[in-house]
Amino acid sequence: MDLQVLRQVQQWLDADQRVVLGTITRTWGSAPRPVGAVVAVRQDGTIAGSVSGGCIEDDLIARIREGALRLERPELVRYGVGAEAAQRFGLPCGGTLELMLEPLGPQSALHVLLERLGRGERVVRRLDLKTGAVQLSEPGEHGSEAADRLVLTDDALITHHGPQWRLLIIGAGQLSDYLARMALALDYQVKVCDPRDDYPWTLAGVPLTRDMPDDVVTALKPDGHTAVVALTHDPKLDDLALMEALRSPAFYVGAIGSRVNQAKRRARLKEHFDLDDAALARLHGPVGLHIGARTPPEIALSILAHMTAERYGVQVSATPSAPAGIDAGCAL
């Protein structure tokens, strides 16, 4: 959503329109949009994006039309400090929302940011609050900027752009296609690995590599925002990927297969790859939530639902308490 806002803003700038970009920097209590969400207002009051139910946007439009937002440098504003203001601006009673207003121009480096985002890169944007100048870098280059979170200091606003979550799928079958499509809708950067030439792959926006899975996982350098899901049913491929993934900080590692096959897999990983019990405990197998899934799209849904729960730290049951029935993804 916010990427669409930035693209619209670039079109306005290319047409020599004045634009102010607002970024949520802090909230107190409930808020309609999270920290980091953006809204843009053109000089004639046209708006793109949203940071509230509409009331704050209306106020920004009114300010623009009154000439009150002819900013020379970034400015921090706060909405909804008291109950009356909170009601006026569509926030919960007593709620507060803080917004950084930034006049955009050549110094904003928006064109370069969009080019890098178009290549699927993750980019850190540092806004100098005194000059309005912007510096772009890769995550991890500058200390606290390594964290995927907005940082506001007395001198700078640091925001992160691009895919915050990554998914590597081992196997290029029908289930992988459904999983990849759904993951794209949830803003994952998706990559598929399958060294078997007889498995074609045609999904646009999701690259396929024929390299060996363990090499692909190693090159990916999984972090706490990375998931690895093995779906080939071939231990020679799945186990290699799982071996490397379980040694990484990946937030989710899963493999398709029945409980019987999962027990055999864990034994292999422990015996042949020297993985300890703590690492093996991180393996989600059978993969996905137990929702009675049978078809490929249902299984893909169960996997992404479980990944979502893991992202937000929600404890859910991944497998049935009794061995009856078919585990999601495999009856073998």
pLDDT score at 319: 54
pLDDT of residue 82 exceeding 70: no
Among 161, 178, 209, the domain-final residue is 161
Q: Are residues 12 and 157 located together in one domain of the fold?
A: yes
Among 141, 161, 181, the domain-final residue is 161
Distance CA 143, CA 61 (A): 37
pLDDT score at 323: 43
252 lies in which domain range?
165-311
Q: Are residues 246 and 130 located together in one domain of the fold?
A: no
- Within a domain: 260: yes
Q: Are residues 191 and 89 located together in one domain of the fold?
A: no
Among 161, 195, 216, the domain-final residue is 161
Mean pLDDT value of segment 251-279: 90
Number of folded domains that form the chain: 2
- Within a domain: 327: no
Amino acid, single-letter form, for residue 142:
H
Pairing verdict, β 252-255 and 47-49: unpaired
DSSP string for residues in 284-314: ESS-S--S---SHHHHHHHHHHHHHHHHTT-
Distance of CA 235 to the CA centre of its chain: 30
Mean pLDDT value of segment 127-138: 95
| Residue 96 banded pLDDT, cuts 50, 70, 90 | confident
Tell me how far apart the terminal alpha carbons of the chain are, to the nearest angstrom. Answer: 41
Mean pLDDT value of segment 134-145: 71
Highest mean pLDDT among 60-64, 65-69, 116-120, 196-200: 196-200
Identify the helix (H) or strand (E) that includes residue 2: helix 2-14
- Within a domain: 329: no
pTM tops 0.85, yes or no: no
The answer to whether 303 and 266 are in contact (CB under 8 A) is: no
Distance CA 111, CA 170 (A): 35
Q: Are residues 206 and 284 located together in one domain of the fold?
A: yes
Q: How much of the chain, in percent, has pLDDT values that exceed 90?
A: 56
Q: Are residues 131 and 6 located together in one domain of the fold?
A: yes
pLDDT score at 106: 94
Lowest mean pLDDT among 240-244, 255-259, 315-319: 315-319
3-state SS, 133-187, equals CEEEECCCCCHHHHCCCCEECCCEEEEEECCCEEEEEECCCHHHHHHHHHHHHCC
DSSP string for residues in 112-127: HHHHHHHTT--EEEEE
Cβ neighbours of 106 (radius 10 Å): 10
Q: What is the CATH number of the domain that holds 209?
A: 3.40.50.720
| Residue 127 banded pLDDT, cuts 50, 70, 90 | very high
Cβ neighbours of 224 (radius 10 Å): 12
- In whole numbers, what is the pLDDT of the chain averaged over residues? 86
pLDDT score at 135: 96
